[in-house]
Structure 1
């Protein structure tokens, strides 16, 4: 029985636009340049780069756009004309009925910037709490509200199904300064991650959020290299 080779994993990547205190978000630069970067460099074995999207740094007001991004890469690979997509705002969850077997392994990788960070942080979990320290880019500033109504109280957590320790060890062997974090904050990064983890659970996919330092702490070239190594690390765990 011969080797089947690396399993192909489609990884969709998101970043964020500017927000209060960050006029130039490095995740926007990375995501916008990622396709050209991997076209020139090549992708690691087993990785298929899916959609690369930049999200508005906003919570409830951007939920419908968030789910369009989360759903991208799935719709084109299904053929059920009876499927119905329902986008629901007001902190609710947008649901779609879909056959999990019509697409292969898939992961959504979300990138956010941590302004004072010196290293990369792999986020283990998200919390069902939105408590924004400042208004988001659409002017919303919730305090102790659930990210998703009806999904438990604000202490409810959802954990990534990615083997985060294995991904961390892979990156460590490559020489990157990273850690595993248990707190993604309560701002838009956590808001998006919680929705994504819920979505991934329903679709049989995986989701991972990674906070990166600003370019002033870790230069753009190093960060682009890191993201490609991160894609390989994720694929190696399938």
Structure 2
């Protein structure tokens, strides 16, 4: 009787491919905490993650082109876009992107659209395809203040968030993605009364969010809504 063939060792699972983006500085700032934190995250990515990063222009239209190019170059399983929300106290995981550009200030190219669609003829809004509350819980478990946000504004952050969601809905249905706003970093608030968070803490929270997004199939059913 022939002896049984030895079994082949199983191959380790392929790492998840994740693209995380931040923005260049805008509105007279010299830094953008989103990009500082994304760079910090890239130095120590979550376990089991093949992490790619991209810095997006703070320019209507161009920012979505930057995002699309990064997605095409990396073919990720998950995209997490990150932007600055000065005045917020913690990381805020965005629930919904709306199809409107309505800029309170000009972007970095001097463009200031008013009540214009991000995508002509597109849906009024998209929901993030992330387990929002599990992501928030993971950031908090890592010691970083976090919450669900019901609005990503109407500036370039929402513009990119909607562009990502539209790309997923129309061209890449297997891709998952969402948006996280982060506070100022301390160097931005030395002359104004506003909350801030260290780059290290922001990166820690983002790492926890990425891991939760990759490992959670059913979101937590806990409170996270708003009364106004």
| Aligned mates of 2:89, 2:13 — CA distance in 1 | 33
Deviation track 1:136-172 (CA, whole Å, cap 9, x = no partner) reads 11111110000001214xxx11001111122222223
CA offset at residue 5 of structure 1?
8.8
The Cα of 1:61 is off from its aligned counterpart by 4.0
1:67 Cα deviation (Å)?
Answer: 1.7
Q: Which of 111, 118, 121 is 1:140 aligned to?
A: 111
Q: 1:171 to 1:126 in 2, by over 3 A?
A: same
Q: Which residue of 2 aligns with 1:99?
A: none
TM superposition shift of 1:62: 4.2
State the TM-score, normalizing by the size of structure 2. 0.79
Q: Deviations over 1:171-216 (max 9, x none)?
A: 2333321110110000000000000011123312111100011112
* Shift in alpha-carbon separation, 1:173–1:62, aligned structure 2, 3 A: closer
- In structure 2, relative to structure 1, the CA distance for the partners of 1:20 and 1:192 (3 Å cut) is same
Identify the match of residue 126 of structure 1 among 79, 83, 97: 97
The 4+ residue runs of structure 1 with deviation greater than 6 A are 4-7
Equivalent pairs counted in the alignment come to 197
Aligned counterparts of 2:86 and 2:213: Cα–Cα separation in 1:
25
Structure 1 position 7, deviation (Å): 7.8
Gaps of 5+ in 2: 1-10, 187-195, 218-228
Give the greater-gyration-radius structure (CA): 2
Query: 1-side partners of 2:73 and 2:115: how far apart?
Result: 30
In the other structure, the counterpart of 2:206 is 227
Aligned-residue Cα RMSD (Å) equals 2.2
Question: Is 1:181 the counterpart of 2:181 in the alignment?
Answer: no
Q: Is the 8 A contact 1:6 1:45 kept in 2?
A: no
Deviation of 1:15 (Å): 0.3
Tell me, in whole angstroms, the C-alpha distance in 1 between the residues paired with 2:140 and 2:96. 20
The question of whether the paired residues in 1 share the 8 Å contact of 2:40 and 2:200 is answered with no
CA distance in 2, matches of 1:63, 1:126: 14
- Pairs within 5 Å for 1:162-181: 162-181=130-149
Q: 1:15 to 1:62 in 2, by over 3 A?
A: closer
Q: Distance in 2 between matches of 1:19 and 1:230?
A: 25
Relative to 1, partners in 2 of residues 1:163 and 1:62: Cα closer, same or farther, differing over 3 Å? closer
Q: Give 5+ residue unaligned stretches, structure 1.
A: 75-104
Describe how 1:66-81 pairs up with structure 2 within 5 A: 66-74=67-75
Deviation per CA, 1:3-49, whole angstroms, max 9, x where unpaired?
Answer: x99884211010000111433111222223432x21xxxx4344221
Check conservation: 2:21, 2:81, Cα contact below 8 A.
yes
The structure 1 residue matched to 2:16, chosen from 9, 24, 32, is 9
